Structure 1
């Protein structure tokens, strides 16, 4: 795709706790996705601590890159180290002024919060929060979601100042983009379409080879902006294009379908978790896990929004636990080993009976870091899916990575086996 000519933006994530890795940054990725949806080119995401000089340096850097919009996150609290608004005011050449209406709003919010803490000095807290009512002269004020308001300072570039907590930043962003100031700053944006294809069971090298072929065979391929990502063992192919290039994208998808019909499981961006949740509607599932510590049951429950279709689960590491809790024959374990397809099948069948379910999935494997053998090295995992109608799917696979990687990828494999079994594939 050609170099961007429309509206451009930069993001400054502030916070020493984020800079040092104590807190993972969720705001940068969220804002990047929202800008992408708007058709605004994101030039840079920068990260700095709470030092005013460092924040201002990031602002000056982005302004020097010619961006139309700068978005900051963090540093809007009442404490002395929250200096983002003051720094932005100085950068924009604006005085800080006390907004009386905002002071009242913050006071009312704080008073409500303090009702739960009767021993705290209310006046001292309100005085500390009065700092949050100081805004750059002429700024557009964004109503607080917590206690911190956001501000928008129109100019070249326009600066949007948002709070750090994602639960406050995300709804405030929606309010920010609706303002005339932000709409004016991104007026030159390009309208894009964005589509996501998801694959499972294909290495990145295989996809790379297919895309190289598509580059040669699809006319106008260079009009597509394609980003690929390996996520939890799945390949995510995100393609962005201008609306008039929809036919080119359709040709690309035709190439992917032709080369990888079995590996594509989603052309609309839907996640395997959502697909499995839909397939489990009206059903009851049980899990039997060894090496994944209940992660599959948790993943199923989280996506369903409740435990309505998760009838129950057993986590059994020790062989004795497999026998006592799931009724797996000790002789079967002795003959084939705990990490084996026969034991996985027995675990699934037992979970089906124990919880009165119509669907069951079992996982048993060697997650590491020790315990593997030459025949069954670390990363060897056996899976079994059993349905009440007698249908079943059993697989053994070798998964790469450390203990955490193996456990996470195991749940992904299990979800795809469930999808195939419930969808009638084998």
Structure 2
């Protein structure tokens, strides 16, 4: 089955609002074994929407549209669907009664324009919306199954799960399973080279990659007639991905780098403290975002200025003067002092130039030093150069520090 998704609204075509509905619907439909053929974003123009309904319905088996079902004059999706179907609109009495009851229960005044939300094309069925005022619509157009849902994400998702997913799932004749691995420490091209033939488009299970903020997600999708077949092939491919990528893989599903670091700290009974300069507490925040981190994260310092580094972390003044705050020796000193002063097994430090100012030819914006004090194991220090703006540099620095700690904890 092939599907096209339409999103309606001037706010979308003008870039004022990001279309998250299409992304969510694509993921849900793909999970049901439905191939997404295209997305289209349309303005609040009846003729344009009607034309899109007609053209898209001739190219796919399933058409899902969101938006344009509200009570205002620019909400024209129901009229456009009627135009595409070649029929009139009519009042749907049960919908009108439900809308009136909803306003009465919530003690809201009901505008006359809300009556338009109870209108439906004569050739369409109504999808009851128990989560808002705008009913959805269902119809057949050019042999294509058409669903129209409200643009409000919470209402759209609830209606899809309750009313549409069961219908589509019942028609499914194949089992599709997916797993996603997270990796960090190598670029997408390098990861792709390691995966090699696993990423061939004709292969089943399919393997694909996406990148977001330095983290590369490897998605494995297995599609077979039966669940045992799909599970077996999925497990085998995931195992092969892990074998080829090794320590680049930090977790699966929703697990983050900080989740992985905390999990390993707890498993080994170790503790860590942090000393941060350019990240300004971001590293500590990431660690404390993980439930249970209090058992392994002792605390930290935000030593942004040189005077704070000297006073709170006891970094020697002479070292700061000779090497500069953004340097390997200072990063090492910060990490070692954090471990010593907190009584932790590890000290993790970050110092760098996040920008947009403060850089030089010798030390440009994006230069970051990260250090990990390991007690008797000595102190590691790495120089990094991150692209992007201030927020991107800080984010990549904190993630790289977490990854350094994670890799150390993976050592036997």
User: For the superposition of Structure 1 and Structure 2, which TM-score range results when normalised by the shorter chain?
Assistant: 0.7 to 0.9
**Alignment correspondent of 2:175:** 191
Shift of residue 160, structure 1, vs aligned partner: 1.6
**Alignment correspondent of 1:364:** 351
Unpaired runs of at least 5, structure 2: none
Shift of residue 53, structure 1, vs aligned partner: 2.0
1:34 aligns with 2:28: yes
* Pairing partner for 1:142 from 104, 114, 128: 128
Shift of residue 201, structure 1, vs aligned partner: 1.8
1:177 aligns with 2:171: no
For residues 305 and 93 of structure 1, the distance between their equivalents in structure 2, rounded to whole angstroms, comes to: 60
For residues 412 and 71 of structure 1, the distance between their equivalents in structure 2, rounded to whole angstroms, comes to: 38
Shift of residue 183, structure 1, vs aligned partner: 5.0
- The answer as to whether partners of 2:336 and 2:379 remain within 8 angstroms in 1 is no
CA spacing shift, 1:332–1:275, aligned 2, 3 Å: same
For residues 176 and 294 of structure 1, the distance between their equivalents in structure 2, rounded to whole angstroms, comes to: 45
For residues 360 and 384 of structure 2, the distance between their equivalents in structure 1, rounded to whole angstroms, comes to: 15
CA spacing shift, 1:278–1:253, aligned 2, 3 Å: closer
Alignment deviations for residues 136-158 of structure 1 (CA, whole Å, 9 cap, x no partner): 34413232423333333355322
- The answer as to whether partners of 2:22 and 2:39 remain within 8 angstroms in 1 is yes
Deviates more, 1:97-106 or 1:274-283: 274-283
- The answer as to whether partners of 2:199 and 2:206 remain within 8 angstroms in 1 is no
Deviates more, 1:140-149 or 1:280-289: 280-289
For residues 108 and 308 of structure 1, the distance between their equivalents in structure 2, rounded to whole angstroms, comes to: 52
Deviates more, 1:24-33 or 1:170-179: 170-179
For residues 153 and 295 of structure 2, the distance between their equivalents in structure 1, rounded to whole angstroms, comes to: 29
**Alignment correspondent of 2:283:** 296
Unpaired runs of at least 5, structure 1: 1-6, 115-121
- The answer as to whether partners of 1:97 and 1:136 remain within 8 angstroms in 2 is yes
Alignment deviations for residues 395-423 of structure 1 (CA, whole Å, 9 cap, x no partner): 322223333332222232123234334x4
* Pairing partner for 2:74 from 64, 70, 81: 81
Shift of residue 376, structure 1, vs aligned partner: 2.9
TM-score (norm 2): 0.81
Shift of residue 28, structure 1, vs aligned partner: 1.2
Q: Report the secondary structure of 1:260's partner residue.
A: helix
CA spacing shift, 1:382–1:28, aligned 2, 3 Å: same
- The answer as to whether partners of 2:96 and 2:118 remain within 8 angstroms in 1 is yes
CA spacing shift, 1:21–1:307, aligned 2, 3 Å: farther
Deviates more, 1:278-287 or 1:127-136: 278-287
CA spacing shift, 1:223–1:330, aligned 2, 3 Å: same
- The answer as to whether partners of 2:328 and 2:383 remain within 8 angstroms in 1 is yes
For residues 143 and 374 of structure 1, the distance between their equivalents in structure 2, rounded to whole angstroms, comes to: 60
Give aligned pairs, total: 404
Alignment deviations for residues 158-200 of structure 1 (CA, whole Å, 9 cap, x no partner): 22222223233222221133454x457xx25643232323322
**Alignment correspondent of 1:206:** 190
- The answer as to whether partners of 1:223 and 1:245 remain within 8 angstroms in 2 is no
- The answer as to whether partners of 2:209 and 2:218 remain within 8 angstroms in 1 is yes
